[in-house]
């Protein structure tokens, strides 16, 4: 996953997604993404890969202002956040550079229900120095997506 693959995915699917670069601002964290986009933390998306001891995987997409309750992730027992090497291996991406679109078909994607209450969201554009702005419903057009409440209370 890199900016070129994200741009190509947007073009191939004819998606209404705005892509932009912010070369001087690293959007690794929610705070960095807020600086890069001018958005509120609740409109920033985090895309996180979780893996349990059995090798079961799930991608969680949640607002930057919230944290994932790993007990709510279905099919995973005591999952851990993936390491940078695991993110590279399974998603062909880097931490802070995972877009909420163009994710691998074979891994389940759990979209926190709070995201769908928003008119628009910002996610990575395939690197820490690119972002995309989109309607969150576009994320659901990918295979293996489920909507759940996965946020910590």
pTM of the model: 0.92
Residues 29-58 pLDDT 10s: 899 999 999 999 999 999 999 999 999 999
Beta bridge partner(s), residue 134: 121
Residues 4-28 pLDDT 10s: 999 999 999 999 999 999 999 988 8
Best CATH choice for the domain 3-148 from the list 3.90.960.10, 3.90.1640.10, 3.30.70.250, 2.40.50.100: 3.90.960.10
Domain ranges of the chain: 3-148
């Amino acid at each position: 996953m890199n900016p070129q693959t994200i741009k190509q995915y947007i073009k191939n699917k004819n998606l209404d997604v705005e892509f932009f670069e912010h070369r001087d601002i690293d959007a690794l964290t929610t705070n960095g993404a807020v600086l890069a986009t001018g958005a509120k933390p609740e409109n920033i998306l985090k895309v996180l890969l979780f893996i349990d001891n059995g090798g079961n995987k799930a991608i969680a997409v949640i607002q930057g202002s919230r944290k994932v309750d790993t007990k709510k992730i279905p099919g995973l027992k005591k999952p851990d956040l993936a390491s940078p090497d695991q993110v590279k291996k399974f998603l062909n991406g880097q931490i802070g550079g995972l877009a909420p679109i163009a994710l691998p078909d074979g891994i389940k994607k759990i979209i926190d229900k709070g995201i769908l209450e928003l008119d628009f969201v910002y996610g990575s554009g395939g690197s820490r120095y690119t972002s995309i702005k989109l309607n969150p419903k576009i994320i659901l057009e990918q295979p293996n997506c489920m909507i759940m409440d996965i946020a910590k209370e």
